Structure 1
Amino acid sequence: MSTHSPRWIRRHALTAISLAFGSSLIPTLSWAEAIELPTISVTANPLGVASDDMVVPVSTLAGRELSLQRESTLGETLKSIPGVSSTYFGPNASRPIIRGMDGERVRMMQNGVGILDASSLSFDHAVALDPLVIEQIDVVRGPAALLYGGSAVGGVVNAIDHRIPKEAIDGVTGRSEVRFGGAENQKNGAIVMDAGNGVLTVHADAYKRKTDDLDIPGYAMSSRKAAQTGEVRENKGRLVNSGSDADGGALGASIALENGYVGASYSTFNNKYGTVAEPDVLIDMESKRWDFASELRDLGSVISKVKVRMAHTDYQHQELEDGEVGTTFKNRGLEGSIEASHGNIGPLSGVIGLQFHNSRFEALGEEAFVPTNRTKTRALYLYEELPLDAFKLTFGGRVEHAKIESSGGDGFGPAQSRSFTPYSLATGALFKLDEQWSVTTNLSHNERAPSYFELFADGHHVATDQYEVGSSELKKERSNGIDARLQWKQQHNSFSVGAYYTRFSSFIGLFNSGNLVNEEGETGQADSEIAEAEFKSARADFKGLEAEGKFRVYDTVGTLDLNLRGDYVRATNRDTGDSLPRISPLKLGFGLDYRFKSAGARLDVLRAFKQNRTDENELVTDGYTLVNATLTYKLPTPDRFQLEAFAKAYNLLDQTIRDHTSILKDIAPMGGRSLMVGLRGDF
C-alpha cells in the first residue's frame, strides 16, 4: 500500500464532515443496518470478561461519555478517572500518569499493541495518537505486567479505534464531530466511517486539529519560581509557543470468516506544535503505522481460539529551532502477539500468549542525549481463571527476555549490550457477597528491564534542563504490589473504594546528583551551570486510595445523577525518606448530570489540594478548584441518524491551575475560563 494512500482523506476531512451532517447524505444512509458494539473492558483480561466481572480495576471511556471528555491529548482526556493524572507539557504533549507512575511504567497501547514513539523519553514529546478518532479507551489502574510486561507495572492505557473492523456490517455506519473554541481557540473535526456487504468491511477515518496559543489567567511563571530565580514575570494572559497544527487518517479493511475475521489497516499521524519551554522551538512529528489483526474462534476442544495482532511503526520527529532542524528522533519497529485460548478444563479457562518487540531508536543532532540503540524482547505468558460459584480466582505468570544494545560513538563511548530476563507473577480473587456487593483483591510480583535511556543516556536534556546520565550497570527493577476494592452496584447506582500498596526493592529513578556541569558533562568549569541527574536504583513505596460513585438522586421529570470521585497517592524514597517528585495531591470531586428528553446539563467540580510533600528540587504547588459545565441537545433527525450539539465551559472560576505532576507547572499553567462548542453525529 502506498504510504500516501490516505492523503486525500486528510485533505478533505472537514469537507467530508460537513457532508456527513448535511441532509443530502441522510437518504443514502437510511438503508444502513446499524450495529451495536458492546463496550467491554478486555485490556486486562484476554478472556473478554465484562468490566463488572474484572478482578483488576479497569475504567472505560466510550461513546457519548468519551466525546464529552475528549481533549487534545490522551493525558488530559483521562484525568477524570480516579487515580489518573497527566504529565502536561503544555496543551500539546501529555501522557497519563497512573497511581503516581508514568513514563516506562505506564504501557501506552493502540488496539492491544504498543504505541511506538518517543513520548516516554521526554515530556515534550507527544503521544503519536489523537483522541479525535478513538472509539474507546481502557485504563488499567495497577500492575498489568503479567500480560504486557514490566512497562505496565503502573498500569495500561489502551486506545481502541476499530480501524480493523472485528464485526462484519451490511450497510454504512459512522460518526462525525466538529468543535470550536476553548482556551486554545481550537478548530477540530473528525469523520469515521465503516461500510460493508456482510463479508468485506472497509473503514476510513480522518481528522484535522488546529489550535492557537493557550489563553491563561495571569502570568505564565508562578510567583514562587520568580521569587526563587529573581526573574521578571512576563507573558501575561498567553502561553507563548503553545499552538499546534495536526492531521491524520486511516484506511482499513477486514474479511469476515465463518469463525472469525482477518484484516489490516494503514494510518498516519502528523503533528506540528510548540514546545512551550522554548519559545523558538517547534516539533514536527510524523508516524506511519501498519496494523494486522486476525481472530479464529471455535477451533476445537484443545485450542478454542487464536488471536494475532501486529503493528509496524515508522516514527520520526524533528525539533525545529527558528525554522532550522536541530535534532531528529526516529523510532522504527515491529511489535505483536499471538494468543491462544485453551478449551475449558472443568471450570478452568485460560490463555497462553507469545509477545515480541523489535525496535531501533536514533537521536541525531545537537540535542541528542542518547545513542542509537536497538531493543529486542520476547515474552511468554499464561493467564488462567477458575470460577467457583460466587468466588473467582485468577492466576498466571510471565517470563521475558530483553536485549538492549547501544551503538555508541558520537561522544557516547563504545558500543554496549545488556540482557535481562524479567519474571512476573500475579494472582487475584473476586468474591460476590450478594447480588450488589463484591470484593476483589490482587497480589503481584513485577520485574522490569531498564529502558535504553535509563541505561545509556549521556547529555543535556533541554526539556528538563538537566544533564542526564544513564548507568549501564543498572539491574532489573523489582516490585511487589497488593490492592483491594469493595464494590456495590444496584440499578443506576454504583460505588467502589479501593486501596493499593506497591513496594519497590529497586526503583529506577532520575535523581539529582548535586553537581553542576557544562554541555560536555564537565564539573568545575566556568560554564558548568547545568544540574546533573543520574539514573539510579532506590527503594521506594507507592500507596494510595481511590473511590468513585454514581447515584440516581432524581427521576421524576428527567433524571439527575450525582457523581463522586476521589484519589490520593503518596510515594516515598525509602533510602532517603523524601517524597518522590511530581506526585499528584489529594483530589476530591463531584458532578451533577441532568437529562430531560433531548436536553442535558452537567456540572463538574474538582478540588485539588495543596501539594507540599515535594522532592528537594521542586516547589510547593497551591491547591485549586476546577469547575466545568456542559450543555447538550439532541437535534431532531431522521431515523438511524443522531445529531447532538454541545457546549462546554472550562474553568468557570478562572483560576490559575498548576498541576504538580507537570514538570512545567511553574511556567505553564492550564487554560483560563473559556467556552467550546461542537456538533457530533452518529449514523
Structure 2
Amino acid sequence: MSFPLHRHGVGAAVLALIACTPGASWAQAGAASTAPATTSDASAPSLGEVTVTGNPLGATDLIAPTSSLANDALLLRSQSTLGETLNGLPGVGSTYFGPNASRPTIRGQDGDRIRILQNGGSAPDASALSYDHSVPVDALVTERIEVLRGPAALQYGGSAVGGVVNVIDNRIPTEPIDGFGGRADLGYATGNREKSGGVVLEGGNDRYALHVDAFRRDSDDVSVPIELGCENPHRPGFARKICNSANEADGGAFGGTLFFDQGWLGASASTYRSNYGTVAEDDVTIGMKSDRYALEGEWRPGGFFTNVHAKLSRTEYRHTEYEGPLPGTTFRNDSNDLRIEARHQKIGNLEGMVGFTSERGRFSATGEEAFAPNSRTQSNALFLHEELGTSWGRLSFGARTEQVDVQSLGDPGNPANSRFFVGDRDFHPSSAALGGLVNLTPQWQLSSNLAYTERAPKDYELFANGPHVATAAWETGDPNLKVEKSTGLDLGAQWKQGANTARFNAYVTRFSNYIGLTATGNVRGADGELNPPPIELPDGLLIEPETFADYVYHGVRARFRGLEASGNLQLLGADGFSRPADGSTLDLEWRGDLVRATNTDTGEPLPRIAPWRIGSTLAYGNGPWTARVGFDYNAAQNRVPPLGDRATEAYTLWNASLNYRMRVQNANLTWYARIDNIGNTLAYSATSILTTTVYPDAPLPGRSLKVGLRATF
C-alpha cells in the first residue's frame, strides 16, 4: 500500500496538483513538478490531493504567488533547518546563522514579517527574536511545506506582510485512512558526518485515524573550504570546520482523529528537542525544546454556513544558552492560539469565509544576556476572504481588523533592574487586500494582488534594551512606536503548455513606517553607557572597554521591489524537441530573482538583502532513474548600508543528484545520492548577520555528499 497524502491547511481547500512548484531552486534537488517522467510503476508513487495555503477556498488557479514542496522534492532538498530547506525557492532566502539556526526570508523581509504556521495554525517560538534561535521543525517528519509570497498573506495577520510558511505534518489526520501505511528515512552526509532518520506511521478506517512519527539527527562540525580558528576547549586550534557547529536533534508526535457523519475531531501532542552550537561564540551551546498540544475539528452543519473549522493549540517553548557546562540566559515563550473559520454557501458565483483568531503569549528571558524584558502579548482578530468567479477569471477580496495589547513586565527576578520600560501599548491594526486572475488564453494567465497592511510592533521592538550577543549590538526599543503601515502590489504572468512552463512576478511594497533596527554610529559599554572612555589602569596604561555597537528600533519610510521568474523547458520527451523511443526525458529548469530594499528617508540600502540570483538545472529521467546537475549563481552584494553590513563577493554553487526507485513487495524504495557545492567553493551569505559580526568564521558549508534511502509503504 502506498503512503497516502491527505488534505490539510486552511479551511477545506483542496487542489489536485503535482507536489512542487515549477522552477523551484535546484540548490539541493529540484522540483518534482519538473522532474522527468518515468514509465516504471515503482518510480511513480501515488499522489493525492493537497491544499495550497494561498487559497482557502480550493480554487485550482492561484491568484497568490505560491510554492509547495512535498515527496521527493522535499526529501532531496531537506536540510537540518527550515531556512536552508527553502532557500532558493523563488523569492526565498535564509538568515543562515550557521547550519543549526536558519529562518526563511521572503522578498527581502525576515523576522516577524514572515509568519511560520503549523498545519495552518500559529507555531510560536523565539526564532524571530534572535538569529541564533532555531525553528523547531524538521523535514524528516514533514509531509509538505507551502510558501505564500506577497500581499495575499493578509488573512494570517500583519505579521505575514512578507509572506507565510506553512509546515504540514498530518499529525491530526483530516481524512479517514484506509488500512495502514507509512514511510521511513535514513541518511548520512559527509560534510558534517550527519546521521539522520525518521519514521511516520498512520492507520485507521472510516471512523478513526492514528498518526505517530519520530526523528533524530546527529551531526559534527561542518566542513568548509578554509581553515578557521577555534577556542572551544573540545576542539582548539585550526581546522577546515565551522567551530561549534555540531548539533543533536530529536522529536516526535502522536495524534488521532474521530470521524462523524457531519465532521471530525482530532488531537495531537508533539515534542522537539535540540542541542547545538551557536557558531558566533566558540564555547556557547543552546539547549532548546518545544512541546505542542493541538486540538482541531470540523463541523458541516449545512445551511448558510456549510463548514466550520477550528484549531486550538498550546505551545511551550524553552531555550537555554550554556556557557561551557553552566546555564546562562534562558528564554521562554508559552502561547495559546485559537483559529475559527466558517465557510458560507455560494451566493451566485460568490463564495467565501469569515474567521476569528485569538493568540495569547507570555515571553520571559532571565540571565545576563536578557536584552528584552518579560512581556505578555494578546491579540484578537476578525477576517474575511471572498472570491467571485467570472467568465474570464476570478476576483478575490480580503479584510482583517485586529486588537493587539503588548505589555512589558520588566525584570520580575530583579526589580532593581531599571533598564526596561514597564507598561503596555494597545494597537488596532487593520488591513485589506484585492486580487484578480485573468485567463487570457488556455496557456496564459495574468494575476495581480494589491494589499494595504498594518502590523503592530512586537514586544522586543518596543521594549528591548540590552546587549544582544547574536547581533553583536546593544539593541534599544522604542515604547512610542506606531503601527507599521505598508502598501504592496504584485503583478504576475504564467504560461503552461504540457511540461513547458514559465512564471514571472514583479512586486513593490512601500512602507510609510517601516520598523527597522538601525545603527546610530555610537557604541555602548557593558552597562549601557554611551561611548564609554578608555579605562586607565594603575600603571597609567589605557585600555578600551568592552563595547557593543549601538542600534535602535525606529520607523522609517522604506521600499521593497523585485522580480521573480522560473520555469521548465522540456528538451526531450513528449513535449520536447524529440521523443526518444525509450521514453527518457530531459528537462531544463531555470529560475532567478532580484530584490532591492531602500530606506527612502536616507536613500541608503536596508541591511542583509540578497543579491540577484539565477540558476539552472538539467534533469534527465529514464525509467526508475533520475539524474540532475545544475548551478546557482549569487551575484556580489555591494549595495549595503554604510554602517553594520559587509559586502559579499559573487559565487556559484554546483550541485548534482542521482536517485533510483524500485518496488519490493508492498514498499516503494527511493535510493538517492546528492552532492552539494561540488567545487568546494568558499562563499558567504549576504543575508546572514554572521558575515558581518564574525567574518570570516561562518562561510556557507563546503562540499558534502549525502546518501539516503526512503521506504514508503
User: Normalization by structure 1: what TM-score?
Assistant: 0.91
Q: Distance in 2 between matches of 1:570 and 1:219?
A: 33
**How many residues get paired?**
634
Which of 446, 461, 479 is residue 453 of structure 2 equivalent to?
Answer: 446
Q: CA deviation at 1:519?
A: 1.5
**Residue 178 of structure 1 contacts residue 680 of structure 1 at CA under 8 Å; is this kept in 2?**
yes
How far apart are the structure 1 equivalents of 2:83 and 2:639?
23
Structure-2 residue corresponding to 1:607 = 633
Separation in structure 1 between the aligned mates of residue 422 and residue 153 of structure 2, nearest angstrom: 30
For 1:114 and 1:235, the matched residues in 2 are separated by 43
Q: State the partner residue of 2:358.
A: 356
CA distance in 2 between partners of 1:636 and 1:47 (Å): 37
1:324 Cα deviation after fit: 0.4
For 1:487 and 1:419, locate their aligned partners in 2 and report how far apart those are by CA, in whole Å: 42
User: Whole-Å Cα distance in 2 between the matches of residues 199 and 302 of structure 1?
Assistant: 27
For residues 303 and 251 of structure 1, the distance between their equivalents in structure 2, rounded to whole angstroms, comes to 31
Distance 1:415 1:458 in 2: 12
From 256, 264, 278, the counterpart of 2:259: 256
Match of 1:512 in 2: 519
Aligned-residue offset at 1:391: 2.1
| Cα deviation, residue 234, structure 1 | 7.5
> Deviating runs (4+, > 6 A) in structure 1?
none
Q: Please point out which of 443, 457, 465 is paired with 1:458.
A: 465
Structure 1 residues 635-674: aligned runs within 5 Å: 635-638=662-665, 640-665=666-691, 666=695, 667-674=697-704
Q: Secondary structure at the match of 2:72?
A: helix
What residue number does 1:471 align with?
478
SS at match of 1:67: helix
Rounded Cα–Cα distance in structure 2 between residues aligned with 1:311 and 1:147: 18
Q: Does 2:639 align with 1:628?
A: no
8 Å contact 1:146–1:381 — kept in the other structure?
no
Q: Which residue of 1 aligns with 2:3?
A: none
Shift of 1:552: 1.6
CA–CA distance in structure 2, aligned partners of residues 178 and 524 of structure 1: 53
Matching residue of 2:17? none
Give, as a single letter, the amino acid of the residue that structure 2 aligns with 1:348.
L
Mean CA deviation greater in 113-122 or 516-525: 516-525
> Residue deviations 1:285-330, cap 9 Å, x none?
0110001111223x32310111101210011010000110000000
Local SS of the residue matching 1:569: strand
Residue 528 of structure 1 and its aligned partner are, at CA, apart by 5.8
Partner of 2:712: 682
Distance 1:437 1:220, change over 3 A: farther
Contact 1:91/1:214 (8 A) holds in 2: yes
Which amino acid is the alignment partner of residue 38 of structure 1? E
User: Shift in Å at residue 144 of structure 1?
Assistant: 4.0
Q: Using the TM superposition, give the Cα deviation of residue 40 of structure 1 relative to its aligned residue in structure 2, in angstroms.
A: 2.9
CA shift, 1:681, in A, is: 1.1
Indicate if the aligned counterparts of 1:336 and 1:355 stay in contact, CA closer than 8 A. yes
Q: CA deviation at 1:414?
A: 5.0
Deviation digits for residues 388-416 of structure 1 (CA, Å, limit 9, x no counterpart): 11221101210000000001244234521
In structure 2, distance between residues paired with 1:544 and 1:414: 38
**Is contact 1:288-1:314 (8 Å) kept?**
yes
Gaps of 5+ in 2: 1-44, 230-235, 535-544, 574-579
Question: Residue 689 of structure 2: SS of its match in structure 1?
Answer: coil
SS in 2 for 1:407: strand
1:74-89 matches, within 5 Å, as 74-89=82-97
Q: Is the 8 A contact 1:214 1:671 kept in 2?
A: yes
Q: Within 5 A, what are the aligned runs for 1:26-105?
A: 36-41=47-52, 43-50=53-60, 53-105=61-113
How far did 1:592 drift? 1.1
State how far apart, in whole Å, the 1-side matches of 2:420 and 2:144 are: 45
Give distance in 2, aligned partners of 1:352 and 1:167: 23
Paired with 1:273 and 1:436, the residues of 2 have a C-alpha distance of 49
Q: 2:196, 2:216 within 8 Å by CA — same for their partners in 1?
A: yes
Q: Show the counterpart of 2:388.
A: 386
1:226 corresponds in structure 2 to none
* Aligned equivalents of 1:293, 1:643: Cα separation in 2: 33
Is residue 287 of structure 2 the alignment partner of residue 311 of structure 1? no
Q: Distance in 1 between matches of 2:140 and 2:403?
A: 36
Pick aligned residue for 1:375 from 377, 381, 403: 377
Deviations 1:418-476 (A, max 9, x none): 00000101000000001110000011000000000000000000011100000000000
The alpha carbon displacement at 1:58 in A equals 0.4
Displacement, 1:64? 1.3
Given the alignment of the two structures, is residue 530 of structure 1 paired with residue 548 of structure 2, yes or no?
yes
Taking CA–CA contacts closer than 8 Å with sequence separation of 6 or more, which of the two structures ends up with the larger relative contact order? 2
Alignment map for 1:263-342 (pairs within 5 Å): 263-297=266-300, 299-342=301-344
2:154 aligned with 1:146: yes
Q: CA deviation at 1:143?
A: 2.7
> Aligned partners of 1:348, 1:182: CA distance in 2, in Å?
55
Amino acid at match of 1:358: R
SS of 1:473 mapped into structure 2: coil
Is residue 420 from structure 1 mapped to residue 438 from structure 2 by the alignment? Answer: no
3-state secondary structure, aligned to 1:484: strand
Q: Which residue of 2 aligns with 1:366?
A: 368
Deviations 1:638-672 (A, max 9, x none): 1x310011000110111001110011123311111
Asked if the contact 1:330/1:361 (under 8 Å) is kept, the reply is: yes
Give SS of 1:463's match: helix
For 2:153 and 2:490, how far apart are their aligned partners in 1? Answer: 15
Tell me the secondary structure at the aligned position of residue 155 of structure 2: helix
Identity between Structure 1 and Structure 2 (%): 45
| Distance (whole Å) between structure 2 residues aligned to residue 579 and residue 358 of structure 1 | 35
Separation (CA, whole Å) in 2 of partners of 1:201 and 1:83 = 37
Q: Which residue of 2 aligns with 1:204?
A: 212
Instruction: Assess if the C-alpha contact under 8 Å between 1:40 and 1:49 holds in 2.
Output: no
Cα distance in structure 2, aligned partners of 1:271 and 1:563 = 36
Q: Does the aligned pair in 2 maintain the 1:398–1:424 contact within 8 Å?
A: yes
* Aligned partners of 1:393 and 1:427 also within 8 Å: yes
Amino acid at match of 1:46: P
Deviation of 1:634 after TM superposition, in Å, equals 1.2
Q: Distance in 1 between matches of 2:645 and 2:58?
A: 43
- Unaligned regions of 5+ residues in structure 1, if any? 1-33, 222-232
Aligned 8 A contact 1:218 1:237 in 2: yes
| Corresponding letter in the other structure for 1:396 | G
Say if 2:151 and 2:450, in contact at 8 Å, map to a contact too: no
- Once residues 375 and 343 of structure 1 are traced to their aligned partners in structure 2, the CA distance between those partners, rounded to angstroms, is 35
Q: How does 1:235-254 map to 2 (within 5 A)?
A: 235-254=238-257
Distance 1:364 1:246 in 2: 24
Preserved contact between residue 375 and residue 452 of structure 1 (Cα < 8 Å): yes
Matches within 5 A, 1:114-125: 114-125=122-133
Shift of 1:38: 1.2
Q: Deviations over 1:60-86 (max 9, x none)?
A: 001111111111111111113110000
Once residues 421 and 688 of structure 2 are traced to their aligned partners in structure 1, the CA distance between those partners, rounded to angstroms, is 35
One-letter amino acid of the counterpart of residue 329, structure 1 = F
Opposite residue 466 of structure 2, the aligned amino acid is: G
The question of whether the paired residues in 2 share the 8 Å contact of 1:522 and 1:528 is answered with no
Q: 1:576 aligns with which of 579, 587, 602?
A: 602
* Deviation, structure 1 residue 35: 7.7
Could you tell me how far 1:179 is from its partner in structure 2? Answer: 0.4
* 1:615-643 Cα distance to aligned partner (Å, 9 max, x none): 112121001101110000113411x3100
Question: Distance in 2 between the 1:144 and 1:235 partners?
Answer: 49
Go from structure 1 to structure 2 and tell me whether the alpha carbon gap of 1:510 and 1:235 turns closer, same or farther (over 3 Å shift): farther
- Alignment partners' CA distance in 2, 1:351 and 1:431: 22
